Structure 1
Amino acid sequence: MTSNQSSPENTPESIAPATLDIEQLVTTDAPFPIVGIAASAGGLEAFTELLSHLPIDTGMAFVLIQHLDPNHKSLLTQILARQTQMRVCEAQDGMAVEPNQVYVIPPNTKMVLSKGVLRLSPREKIYGKYMPGDAFFTSLAIDRGHQAIAVVLSGGDGDGSLGIKAIKAAGGMTFAQCQDTAKFDSMPNTAVATGNVDFVLTPEKIAEELTNYSRNPPIICSVPLTIVEESPAHEDVLATIFGVLKSTTGVDFTHYKRTTIARRIQRRMVLYKLESLDAYAQYLRENSAEVKALYEEILIHVTSFFRDSEVFNKLKKLVFPTITENKSAKVPIRIWVAGCSTGEEVYSIAICLLEFLSDRVIPPPIQIFATDISEGAICKARSGVYLENQMVDVSPERRTRFFIPQEGGSYRISKAVRELCVFARQDLGSDPPFSKIDESFHYRLGIAWLGVLL
């Protein structure tokens, strides 16, 4: 019933922003929150204002990811040290992160967080772009889970938007600088456009909200959460919440993984500074927009193109030969991708299948059915348009062959691929499956199972 997720075993140094183990994230317990702050052009002013309004005792650590000139020594550490009484230092490889301190990324460096320790490596470009914010945010999501916080400030590109999605999937909190105060608004606006930003504020207000957040008891809570305790009172309130969700969205979350539900509800409670489950249930009853927000947050949309390359290689080597063996050129290959999220996985399968069939004189017709419970995710999948930083795992050859560049740096899936795919909303928990399934291949692509139909 959930949207696309992932469970590969990767290290933070190598993992892409969308390849996250959601179950790992929602159970991560960390000793204190870490705030990752990303910026590019205009970031110095925004960093300065943010830090100058932060108290020195939030119990949080702050890691600044600024796009720096790789050929010049950075003075950012010295400049920012004048704005706060917290200790400000340039990060070093192997440095343990401590609360109430500020860490600044060095020039020409990629930095990630692993087990509370900063790991530095030479910076790398992804198809001509440097995305240190995405890299750090993703590692932060894995390392801190619900105690990960991301802030995107002024900048002239889209860095941080994929990492923001990772933080949100982990149950963390996300901020972006408002357009009116950002010297360059492309970076925060791209983050906001993902739909995964909780607060869009001035740097001063972000500092104020971070301070309030640090003082709020739920952020300090660790699992097991009180709202997953099996008490009659909690169960009654949860039943009310599930009832409101079902009456509004038509989806029954009663048997959804309780810990995941708890984390999502707890996060919403923190947002509105609600201290009891009863108060949140009442807030839901009175605010239809919050019902939709909770619904979308439970359906974690985490996916990417060609996630887990080994699986896609096995599709070509094992699955596709099996389903096309002795198949007439007139009989279509019919594939079902359940829990397709925003479509990256669907188009990846279509591309692999087209590549596999490319040497056939008369290839069979292809029909790929893709379903998801989220109408919003389906709409994005149907559009087939993806930002530059969503294309990091698409090779230059595949970009040229299967995608069409758009204004603003995005890419649209080619008509030849799009016409193979039919997208539809489906609730796997209640709607019937596709009929006439001949065989199911249990190659896990996220949680979406590939069903092969006649």
Structure 2
Amino acid sequence: MSSPGARPARAVGVTRARATPFPIVGIGASAGGLEAFKQLLEHLPLDLGMGFVLVPHLDPSHHSLLTDLLSRATKLSIEEVKNGRAVEPNHIYVIPPNTYMVIERGVLKLTPRKKFGGQPMPIDFFLRSLAEDRAEMAIGIILSGSASDGALGIEAIKSSGGMTFAQDEQTARYPGMPHSAVATGRVDFVLPPAQIAAELARISVRPLVGLPAPMEPAESFFPKSGTALATLFKLLTLHHMENLWDYVRLCEKNSGELDRLYQELLVMVTGFFRDPKVFDVLRKKVYPAIVGSLEEREPIRLWVPGCATGEEVYSLAISLVEFVEKKRDRPQIQIFATDISDAFLSRARAGVYVENIAMDVSTDRLRRFFTKVDAGYQVNKSIRELCIFAKQDLTKDPPFSKLNLISCFREGSVCCSTMPLSRRVFFSSERPKT
């Protein structure tokens, strides 16, 4: 039953996405989220040219009145999502209870609610699909809530070239979710909800001087020339600059900002067991060939260039341990993992990840190879000791040698970005027998 004064949702939704892409904002919240949602929506202008999708944690067994309650905070059209609803600019969509939601080609699709490791993760589930669907036109916002849902989704949006926000913990009734998002190091803005709305308004209309081709107001936030330009624009936005050359001068004067630009341009699309088909091929074809080629007491040597925060490295270590433990003679495993980022390497060595990795890691693997800690899960010491993390600049530092396998399938990995660099990595590291 609708509350008095609430505007009814449309009976029939649009099922075909608009031909011209526009920014879509995914907003996640849990405990304390109603207040945060209201504060954000009350300050949103009506003509930003963005679509807004709200993903709160809802009681799966009760009808939700959230749409009616939030309709009092904004004059924007707001409705509960029906399967197959296409997102339109200047509209707000709210996930129904007991469902998961993804977006494909601008169309919202609903599936029954799932649990990963005992915890539902609807925010991560949606934000990951938003990153894939909208790339640099994706915006992720994490508001008040406990636990860590949304952290992996924020990482995905940031890696796709989009922009990310988290509520200032001092203003969040429950700071767990904003804290987990910020802890990823992938949040662009940490602000109270009202200021998040103001920032969305500012970046949607602010002109950018110094980049090629004029851009429409709602699209000016997302340069069409790719992730690198989107990254530059975001950094200008963070510094409230409107001219690219002003930012160039800042980098010339401030080495810290130059380091920040360097880190931002390192595309980091990673995760545990990201491509199951690849690991299936490794288990069935690659690992048997490697083990069959080894001399007596010869170790298996792997190298992961551009290892980022270590998820791919530990995925390889776990899958290889699972393979060799079934063998009568178990060869020693040595995995070399390198990256140019000290921050990434520090996180990789610690091997601590948010509990949301249960979306990607099976219950059995979590039990065998991870330990539950306050921050989420930590890779067991026996697996961490197989992996040697080191800083390396692939453009000038020598590659490793006598390797059985080089893993370079992480999306955005710099080792495959140019042919000369690929030759340097692969042909300098080749092992005659495999």
- TM bracket (short chain): 0.7 to 0.9
Structure 1 residue 31 displacement after superposition: 2.9
Aligned with residue 312 of structure 1, among 275, 279, 297: 279
1:333–1:365: 8 Å Cα contact kept in structure 2?
A: yes
Change (3 A) 1:326 1:275: closer
2:7 corresponds in structure 1 to none
1:134 corresponds in structure 2 to 124
Aligned with residue 343 of structure 2, among 370, 373, 376: 376
* 1:399 maps to 2:366: yes
Structure 1 residue 40 displacement after superposition: 0.3
Change (3 A) 1:417 1:324: same
Change (3 A) 1:423 1:184: same
Structure 1 residue 292 displacement after superposition: 2.2
Aligned with residue 351 of structure 1, among 318, 328, 335: 318
2:384 corresponds in structure 1 to 418
1:319–1:441: 8 Å Cα contact kept in structure 2?
A: no
* Bigger Cα displacement from structure 2, 179-188 vs 304-313: 304-313
Query: Could you report, residue by residue, the CA deviation over 1:349-372 in whole angstroms, capped at 9, with x for unpaired residues?
Result: 111211111123331222111111
Q: Percent identity?
A: 51
1:253 corresponds in structure 2 to none
Partners of 1:294 and 1:47 in 2: how far apart?
32
After superposition, residues 3-402 of structure 1 pair within 5 angstroms as 31-218=21-208, 220-221=219-220, 224-225=224-225, 259-325=226-292, 327-402=294-369
Query: Could you report, residue by residue, the CA deviation over 1:43-77 in whole angstroms, capped at 9, with x for unpaired residues?
Result: 00111111111121222221111110111111111
Partners of 2:25 and 2:313 in 1: how far apart?
34
Change (3 A) 1:443 1:279: closer
Query: 3-state DSSP class of the match of 1:125?
Result: coil
Q: For the aligned residues, what is the CA RMSD?
A: 2.2
Structure 1 residue 155 displacement after superposition: 0.3
Query: Could you report, residue by residue, the CA deviation over 1:67-119 in whole angstroms, capped at 9, with x for unpaired residues?
Result: 10111111111111111111111111111111111111111111121111111
Query: 3-state DSSP class of the match of 1:175?
Result: strand
Structure 2's unaligned 5+ residue stretches are 1-18, 209-217, 417-425
Partners of 1:183 and 1:223 in 2: how far apart?
35
Partners of 2:188 and 2:406 in 1: how far apart?
39
Change (3 A) 1:442 1:384: closer
Structure 1 residue 452 displacement after superposition: 7.0
Structure 1's unaligned 5+ residue stretches are 1-28, 226-258
Structure 1 residue 39 displacement after superposition: 0.2
Tell me the amino acid that sits aligned with residue 73 of structure 1.
H
Partners of 2:124 and 2:299 in 1: how far apart?
40
Partners of 2:341 and 2:68 in 1: how far apart?
47
Change (3 A) 1:30 1:130: farther
TM-score normalised by the chain length of structure 1: 0.81
Aligned with residue 400 of structure 2, among 434, 444, 450: 434
Change (3 A) 1:87 1:261: closer
Tell me the amino acid that sits aligned with residue 412 of structure 1.
Q
2:211 corresponds in structure 1 to none
1:32–1:220: 8 Å Cα contact kept in structure 2?
A: yes
Partners of 2:245 and 2:227 in 1: how far apart?
19
Partners of 2:325 and 2:405 in 1: how far apart?
24
Change (3 A) 1:140 1:267: same
Q: Relative CO higher for 1 or 2, CA cutoff 8 Å, sep ≥ 6?
A: 1
Query: 3-state DSSP class of the match of 1:150?
Result: strand
Partners of 1:292 and 1:444 in 2: how far apart?
25
Structure 1 residue 430 displacement after superposition: 1.5
Partners of 1:30 and 1:164 in 2: how far apart?
24
Change (3 A) 1:312 1:132: same
2:54–2:95: 8 Å Cα contact kept in structure 1?
A: yes
1:30–1:144: 8 Å Cα contact kept in structure 2?
A: no
Structure 1 residue 329 displacement after superposition: 4.1
1:30–1:147: 8 Å Cα contact kept in structure 2?
A: no
Query: Could you report, residue by residue, the CA deviation over 1:316-351 in whole angstroms, capped at 9, with x for unpaired residues?
Result: 211111111153442111111111111111111111
Structure 1 residue 224 displacement after superposition: 5.0
Query: Could you report, residue by residue, the CA deviation over 1:23-53 in whole angstroms, capped at 9, with x for unpaired residues?
Result: xxxxxx9632111111000000111111111
Partners of 2:267 and 2:368 in 1: how far apart?
30
Partners of 1:424 and 1:184 in 2: how far apart?
37
Change (3 A) 1:452 1:364: farther
Change (3 A) 1:96 1:441: same
TM-score normalised by the chain length of structure 2: 0.85
